[in-house]
Amino acid sequence: MKLSRRGAAVAAALALLSPAARAGEAAAAGSSRPARAEIVVYAAASLRDVLMRLAPACEEALEVSLVFNFGASSDLARQIDAGNKADVFFSADEEWMDRVARAGLVDAGSRRSFLSNRLVVVGAADSALGVRSPSDLAAPGVRRISLADPEAVPAGRYAKAWLERAGIWKAVRDRVVPALDVRAALAVVESGAAEAGIVYRTDAAISGHVRVLYEVPAGEGPPISYAVAALGGRPQVAASRRLVAWLAGAEAATSFERFGFIVQDRPDTRTGS
């Protein structure tokens, strides 16, 4: 019996020294590493393509996993207020971010506003419609104008503000077809259900079914400002702050510009600051 116990002890020691045992230990150690932090990002529909392009590099750099919920900033803000399930909010305007902040849900120190856009008037790719000024949208040939909901969604509110500034909102408001968000407004024009639409330049750029009829000059349209912030009271607020900082950094700036966004106060690509 004593020899049997000694033999078992020796066998166990040899097993611990074997390559197979060492590999098993390494695998066990690897499986015990903590999972990556999951960051839930609620982002404006106009940001879908660029954020999906940026996601792999961001996840690798920050060692996080990103989960996206895209939609109208107005709807996303209401969802955040009702359920507080997001870690980061990327709004297409300042007002909806302000509303979330007034509810006490924004991590104020993380808030950044570094991104802008331009409004464009679009028509079907084969449209013969000519638009040289806002007043052309009041012409008889323009029966329907597709906008994101002008009473709530940032893209629609920006468009309405432009038309009001141009003095033609009252002339065209009965022709407006309100859509759920800016991508839905684009889809209405793509389908031929409206002769014209007003969307962001970045949305028009990703569609092969529309053409830009008119780009609203910076001085004509309202200031367009996106706001992004981590949300407070969430389990991953530290990782969310790092995500916001990364999105405002040099690596992300290149992709935002490639997709047609305007990066304000562009960070130095040499320093990343």
pLDDT digits (tens), the chain, 273 positions: 444 444 444 344 434 444 444 444 444 444 455 688 999 999 999 999 999 999 999 999 999 999 999 999 999 999 999 998 999 999 999 999 999 999 999 999 999 999 999 999 999 999 999 999 999 999 999 999 999 999 999 999 999 999 999 999 999 999 999 999 999 999 999 999 999 999 999 999 999 999 999 999 989 999 999 999 999 999 999 999 999 999 999 999 999 999 999 999 777 644 444
Structure tokens at 263: 């990066």
Q: Is residue 15 in some structural domain?
A: yes
Handedness of CA 263, 268, 272, 273 (dihedral sign): negative
Query: Are 56 and 77 contained in the same domain?
Result: yes
The per-residue pLDDT for 17 is 40
The per-residue pLDDT for 82 is 95
Query: Are 112 and 230 contained in the same domain?
Result: yes
CA distance 86 to 199: 26
Number of domains in the chain: 3
CA distance 4 to 36: 46
Which structural domain, as residue segments, surrounds residue 199? Answer: 119-215
Query: Are 53 and 93 contained in the same domain?
Result: yes
Query: Are 23 and 46 contained in the same domain?
Result: no
Q: Is residue 95 in some structural domain?
A: yes
The per-residue pLDDT for 114 is 97
The per-residue pLDDT for 84 is 84
On whether the CB atoms of residues 221 and 117 are closer than 8 A, the answer is: no
**Is residue 121 left, alpha or beta, with left meaning phi > 0 and alpha meaning psi from -120 to 50?**
beta
In the sheet with 37-44, reading across from the earlier edge strand, the strands are: 64-71, 37-44, 88-91, 226-230, 112-116, 262-263
Query: Are 42 and 104 contained in the same domain?
Result: yes
Q: Is residue 272 in some structural domain?
A: no
Closest CA to 15 of 27, 26, 23: 23
The per-residue pLDDT for 265 is 78
CA distance 22 to 29: 11
The CATH number that applies at residue 188 is 3.40.190.10
Query: Are 43 and 93 contained in the same domain?
Result: yes
Q: Is residue 270 in some structural domain?
A: no
CA distance 111 to 119: 24
